[in-house]
């Protein structure tokens, strides 16, 4: 895992996204700080997510080398372990 975890994660999201909501709940439950960027309101963010190679939301960015798409409790647990350390 990268040692570059930021102070907060960035969750690139879209409205009415079930996996996005599940991701928020899991992050909240683990006490992981994050901010949400709505892909429907930010063409720049949408382009960034596409450059990372993703075509579905949510996209969670920890740092330049650590990111994923979809609801991934395994990744959230991994990041939570860093915050608990």
Report pLDDT digits (tens) over 20-41: 999 999 999 999 999 999 999 9
- The residues spanned by each domain of the chain are 9-84
Task: Give residue-wise pLDDT tens across range 32-81.
Answer: 999 999 999 999 999 999 999 999 999 999 998 999 999 999 999 999 99
Q: Own/partner pairs for 21-28, CB < 8 Å, 24+ apart?
A: 22/71, 23/58, 23/60, 23/71, 23/72, 23/76, 26/71, 26/73, 26/76, 27/76
Looking at the domain covering 9-84, what would its CATH class be? alpha beta
pTM, full prediction: 0.90
Compute the distance between CA of residue 7 and CA of residue 70 in angstroms, rounded to an integer: 21
Nearest to 23 by CA among 51, 59, 56: 59
Structural element, H or E, at residue 66: strand 66-69
φ, ψ for residue 67 (rounded to 5)?
A: -160, 160
């Amino acid at each position: 895992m990268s040692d570059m975890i930021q102070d907060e994660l960035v969750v690139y999201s879209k409205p009415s996204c079930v996996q996005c909501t599940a991701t928020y709940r899991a992050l909240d439950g683990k006490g992981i700080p994050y901010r949400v960027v709505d892909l429907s309101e930010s063409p720049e963010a949408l382009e960034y997510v596409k450059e990372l190679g993703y075509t579905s939301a949510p996209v969670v960015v920890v740092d330049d080398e650590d990111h994923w798409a979809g609801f991934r409790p395994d990744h959230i647990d991994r990041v939570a372990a860093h915050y608990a350390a």
